[in-house]
Chains A and B, each alone.
Chain A
Amino acid sequence: MTIVGTSGLVLNEKLLFEHSDPGRKGYSLPKLDVPSAELPAELCRQEINGFPELSEVDVVRHFTRLSTWNYGVDSGFYPLGSCTMKYNPKVNEAAARIPGLAGIHPATPSHLSQGILELMYRLQSALAEISGFARVTLQPAAGAQGELAGMLVIRAWHEARGSKRTKVLIPDTAHGTNPATASLTGYDVMPIASEGILTLEEVEAHMNDDVAALMVTNPNTLGLFESNIEAICKLVHERGGMVYCDGANLNALMGIARPGDMGIDVMHFNLHKTFSTPHGGGGPGSGPVGVTEELIPYLPGPGVECDGLGVDCDKESYRLESANADSIGRMMAFHGNVGIMVRAYAYIRSMGPEGLKYASEMAVLNANYVRARLEGVYDLPYKSRSLHEVIFSDKDLEGSCHTLDVAKRLIDYGYHPPTIYFPLVVKGAIMIEPTETESREILDEFCDAMISIAGEARDNPDLLHQAPIRSKVRRLDETTAARKPKLRWEEGG
């Protein structure tokens, strides 16, 4: 086995503020070509206390060094469950930087922004086709904001019918954003238990006339397809509710099955997961939302409309349609994270219909391959066929080692750890999502590392408890950070 993790050459670097020296300059502005002007003195500050003064070289070295302390998809395998850390194609980056796409002001009149509107229209149409929904809004900035838009749409639909339901059913495997969103929509959360997947009986037992919606994730966070989904949607509809789907795991289903065809009413996409846009160290993402025909009037606005027929629209026929009276209103100051939309559309165009389906197939194959190689070494709590991700637990681990120790030891081997301790229903969960962009060779090396670590736990558990030892810093004291929060640099502090 090749262990790719090494300590390498890692340079230390101070904080920006500790580099600062009065009089240094890292910018150039043109000479002022109009008379200078002044504001009344009482409105003006003396200076921005603490703001740094650095040369361009200082700044470039600073951030270059910082970047080397990070691990990205381009550094290596990133099996972070639920996050779909696939390769971020470089042509997408080039596309988003084309001046005519990157430089357009959001208030530019429609007839002077036909190109970007056409691109957005094509993207929303493609997402609608992939998911089986009647219409897609691109406005939400991230998955959680998409959830909020989607749940507001559901609530608006209820309110329009005079329905005053107060509760939302959420399975115990759900992402934390689901209950937080339900709460922000003014609903009470009623958790429901799953046995790996949701059963019709469990939903039936809770679905009453006070329940506005069921929020599901399909495939769910255990990597399992909710195979009762059709019957569950039918039941929820019969009892006057709606079904929301968290689309975080759509990467398992492109070209295979469409949530809209399963009876789901609303779903958000994560363009930064399924559609290959980079995570940027925490964002920006983009969280479009698809809905059925019935819910279109409630979508946030403005949205891109076309007076012609789909992608064959006549020129100058794309426009921004203001929100109608039933709309939940605006989610963002402008049209959402358009730069991310450009990347996602470039991905869809680069993959084509067969490519997207193949991506899902290979994502599922990869997860099942990892599962086949690690089953028996790590405890596998759910035995149904996995889709795009697989969840193990630390139950069989020896040497008083836990999931956290395995995660930290993986860093020494040169891998980003999987998602850990989620979903909450699995004690000591290790959630692995390889994605389709990893080769068999990489997966084999990763699995060898996982097997080797299980052996170390038995034979030399200290290696795990002490890990990581090759990273820039060792384990950090999170307790002190939370007890005595230091959230900013302060002079002399």
Chain B
Amino acid sequence: MRYIPHTAGDVTQMLERVGVATLKDLFVEVPESVRLKRPLDLQELASETELLREFKALAAKNATPETHKSFLGGGAYHHFIPTVIDQLISRSEFYTAYTPYQPEISQGTLQAVFEFQSLICQLTGMAAANASMYDGASACAEAVLMAMRLTRRKRVLLSRAINPRYRAVVATYCRYLNLELVDVAVADDGRTDLDDLKAKLDDSTAAVVAGYPNYFGVIEDVAALAEQVHGAGARLVTAVAEPVALGLLKSPGELGADIVVGDAQSFGLPLAFGGPYVGFFAVRQKDVRGMPGRLVGETTDLEGQRGFVLTLATREQHIRREKATSNICSNQGLCALMATIFMSLLGKQGLREMAEQNLAKAAYARQQLSAVKGFSLVFNGPAFNEFVVRSEAPVAEVLTSLEKVGILAGIPLGEDYPELKDCFLVCVTEQNQREEIDALVAALQGGAA
């Protein structure tokens, strides 16, 4: 076994030193009655060559943006991934290290996390960001829990225009915490319905959660939401599933959001069938001590050199146990590093340029598609790189016929939104060339309908 270095001689000598005769004797405290008396029923081991052959065979059965023209988004985005990222995170000092509990030999991780926190603050317009959460959905759930703790209120309003899977995760986290979750309707423009929000907001409301952009790709009026939410003494949680948009849009912090969460998968992380991605979580200064998750802070060492440490740890489970702000321990450290490298490479200009390309490509696709007979656009609010298309022909048939010509045209919305059962969500990024968009349009024109 190439991962286990013991020779037969080592084993004999070590057993002798331990003072037992056989390996089985090491397990004397495991009662005979619970011992497994047969070999594990698993496949025999595969050599490295066999393993890779087997995995490549499995990989060949999957459709990806390399095999298909893909317009799938909905919280996971196909973006440009600079080569540098994988080269750097493959340095094993990064990926084989544990959580930086011993700061003297973890300064690399710690400084990178400090930079991640700083970049997220700049991007979101907030005062403090943590070291990462599992994904955007769980970050959203943690934001709801935080708002509940800070306001000591028990009612939470969720815009129906946020990612339905984020809503589902919020519901799971809150399942037994006596919290009332209330949906807020979507207006005709695809934004959260401000009248419905007004009707449902009251002085027992802890938080209101809205997307930015929302699940339909529409850019919410965060300032208007904030005004209403703050009027009721509640916190506005902004969930950003597509942070590329923040290269162009005003920051949620500037517009009045109290907690900004989201997923930074768009920043250099492969699609990987949904994970690992990386949730981010940013707050205003006054709420720092109520945050979940790890935080890195700057300090100095004995000799006055700058250094970084995990800090404000008394919020966390290993110290505060049942009173902790969250049970989170491991987060998505390496993914946060990937996003940090991405943001460093793209920088001020690059993120803006990338956002502009997404905006332009989606606008072009939207315009072309809306001209195809049998298809129409559903929402007219300002949009970023996704939009909802209504089809006269059944959605499943349309999507299946497009798959046959190598196009993954979008995500059907009927399961999550019965009123949109004749609609699908289309995403266009800088990775979609004009020819791909034109092919999608041509396929829809040519009988997919």
CB of B266 to closest CB in A, whole Å? 13
Q: What chain B residues lie within 8 Å of A364 (beta carbons)?
A: 26-27
Q: What chain B residues lie within 8 Å of A472 (beta carbons)?
A: 104-105, 107
A306: Cβ under 8 A from any B Cβ: no
Identify A353's interface contact among B39, B317, B346, CB under 8 A. B39
List the A residue with the shortest CB-CB distance to B50: A349
B75: Cβ under 8 A from any A Cβ: yes
Chain-A contact segment, one of B151-159, B201-209, B226-234, B336-344: B336-344
B106: Cβ under 8 A from any A Cβ: yes
Q: Are B105 and A106 touching (Cβ within 8 A)? A: no
Closest 5 CB pairs of A and B: A334-B274, A100-B59, A352-B45, A280-B334, A282-B333
Identify A59's interface contact among B109, B322, B341, B360, CB under 8 A. B341
Which interface class (under 10, 10 to 19, 20 to 34, 35 or more) fits A?
35 or more
Q: Are A186 and B178 touching (Cβ within 8 A)? A: yes
- Cα of A485 to Cα of B28 in the assembled complex, Å: 50
Q: Are B361 and A100 touching (Cβ within 8 A)? A: no
Q: Are B118 and A105 touching (Cβ within 8 A)? A: no
- Cα of A62 to Cα of B114 in the assembled complex, Å: 14
Q: Are A281 and B334 touching (Cβ within 8 A)? A: yes
**Given A26-B345, A63-B112, A488-B114: A480 in contact with B36 (beta carbons within 8 A):** no
List the B residue with the shortest CB-CB distance to A273: B330
- Cα of A284 to Cα of B117 in the assembled complex, Å: 17
CB 8 Å contact bits of A433-449 with B (1 = contact, 0 = none):
00011111000000000
Q: Are A476 and B321 touching (Cβ within 8 A)? A: no
- Cα of A369 to Cα of B98 in the assembled complex, Å: 24
A interface secondary structure, majority: loop
Q: Are A109 and B403 touching (Cβ within 8 A)? A: yes
Q: Which B298-352 residues have a C-beta within 8 angstroms of A?
A: 298-303, 305, 307-309, 311-314, 316-324, 326-335, 337, 341, 343-352
**Given A94-B52, A280-B94, A333-B137: A51 in contact with B311 (beta carbons within 8 A):** no
CB of B417 to closest CB in A, whole Å? 15
CB 8 Å contact bits of B59-76 with A (1 = contact, 0 = none):
111111111101010111
List the A residue with the shortest CB-CB distance to B263: A333
Q: What chain A residues lie within 8 Å of B13 (beta carbons)?
A: 440
- Cα of A384 to Cα of B29 in the assembled complex, Å: 8
Q: Are A328 and B172 touching (Cβ within 8 A)? A: yes
List the B residue with the shortest CB-CB distance to A468: B104
Q: Are A339 and B72 touching (Cβ within 8 A)? A: no
Q: Are B106 and A71 touching (Cβ within 8 A)? A: yes
Q: Which B256-284 residues have a C-beta within 8 angstroms of A?
A: 263, 270-278
A458: Cβ under 8 A from any B Cβ: no
B18: Cβ under 8 A from any A Cβ: yes
- Cα of A29 to Cα of B431 in the assembled complex, Å: 9
CB of A91 to closest CB in B, whole Å? 5
Q: Are A335 and B275 touching (Cβ within 8 A)? A: yes
- Cα of A49 to Cα of B4 in the assembled complex, Å: 51
Identify A141's interface contact among B276, B334, B433, CB under 8 A. B276
List the B residue with the shortest CB-CB distance to A329: B172
List the A residue with the shortest CB-CB distance to B137: A333
**Given A279-B98, A357-B39, A477-B301: A48 in contact with B14 (beta carbons within 8 A):** no
B237: Cβ under 8 A from any A Cβ: no
Identify B165's interface contact among A80, A333, A359, A477, CB under 8 A. A333
Chain-A contact segment, one of B123-131, B182-190, B192-200, B370-378: B123-131
- Cα of A176 to Cα of B178 in the assembled complex, Å: 24
Q: What chain B residues lie within 8 Å of A182 (beta carbons)?
A: 322
26 contacts between A and B (CB under 8 A): A38-B359, A56-B345, A60-B84, A64-B88, A70-B105, A99-B66, A106-B76, A108-B62, A109-B399, A177-B329, A256-B35, A257-B27, A280-B337, A281-B95, A282-B334, A283-B334, A284-B134, A285-B330, A333-B135, A333-B163, A339-B276, A349-B51, A356-B40, A364-B27, A439-B10, A486-B298
Q: What chain A residues lie within 8 Å of B55 (beta carbons)?
A: 95, 98, 101, 119, 342, 346
Q: Are B350 and A27 touching (Cβ within 8 A)? A: yes
Q: Are B54 and A338 touching (Cβ within 8 A)? A: no
Q: What chain A residues lie within 8 Å of B276 (beta carbons)?
A: 141, 283-284, 337-340
Q: Which A240-293 residues have a C-beta within 8 angstroms of B?
A: 253-258, 261-262, 272, 276, 278-285
B247: Cβ under 8 A from any A Cβ: yes
Q: Are A176 and B319 touching (Cβ within 8 A)? A: yes
Which interface class (under 10, 10 to 19, 20 to 34, 35 or more) fits B?
35 or more
**Given A331-B172, A332-B134: A68 in contact with B93 (beta carbons within 8 A):** yes
Chain-A contact segment, one of B289-297, B386-394, B439-447: B289-297
Q: Are A45 and B249 touching (Cβ within 8 A)? A: yes
Q: Are A330 and B165 touching (Cβ within 8 A)? A: yes
CB 8 Å contact bits of A467-485 with B (1 = contact, 0 = none):
0100111111110111001
Identify A142's interface contact among B84, B246, B329, CB under 8 A. B329
- Cα of A292 to Cα of B9 in the assembled complex, Å: 41
Identify A365's interface contact among B26, B102, B246, B328, CB under 8 A. B26
CB of A155 to closest CB in B, whole Å? 6
CB of B192 to closest CB in A, whole Å? 15
Q: What chain B residues lie within 8 Å of A73 (beta carbons)?
A: 92, 96-97
List the A residue with the shortest CB-CB distance to B400: A109
B11: Cβ under 8 A from any A Cβ: yes
Q: Are A71 and B105 touching (Cβ within 8 A)? A: yes
Q: What chain B residues lie within 8 Å of A300 (beta carbons)?
A: 172
A93: Cβ under 8 A from any B Cβ: yes
Q: What chain A residues lie within 8 Å of B68 (beta carbons)?
A: 112
Q: Which A103-162 residues have a C-beta within 8 angstroms of B?
A: 103-109, 112-116, 118-119, 126, 129-130, 132, 141-145, 147-148, 152, 155-156
Q: Are A180 and B97 touching (Cβ within 8 A)? A: no
Q: Are A67 and B94 touching (Cβ within 8 A)? A: yes
B15: Cβ under 8 A from any A Cβ: yes
- Cα of A109 to Cα of B402 in the assembled complex, Å: 12
- Cα of A184 to Cα of B323 in the assembled complex, Å: 9
Q: A67, A329, A480: which has the most chain B beta carbons within 10 Å?
A: A67
List the A residue with the shortest CB-CB distance to B47: A350
Q: Are A95 and B345 touching (Cβ within 8 A)? A: no
**Given A180-B321, A282-B330: A489 in contact with B118 (beta carbons within 8 A):** yes
A401: Cβ under 8 A from any B Cβ: no
A211: Cβ under 8 A from any B Cβ: no
Q: Which A318-361 residues have a C-beta within 8 angstroms of B?
A: 328-340, 342, 346, 348-359, 361
Q: What chain B residues lie within 8 Å of A71 (beta carbons)?
A: 93, 97, 102, 105-106
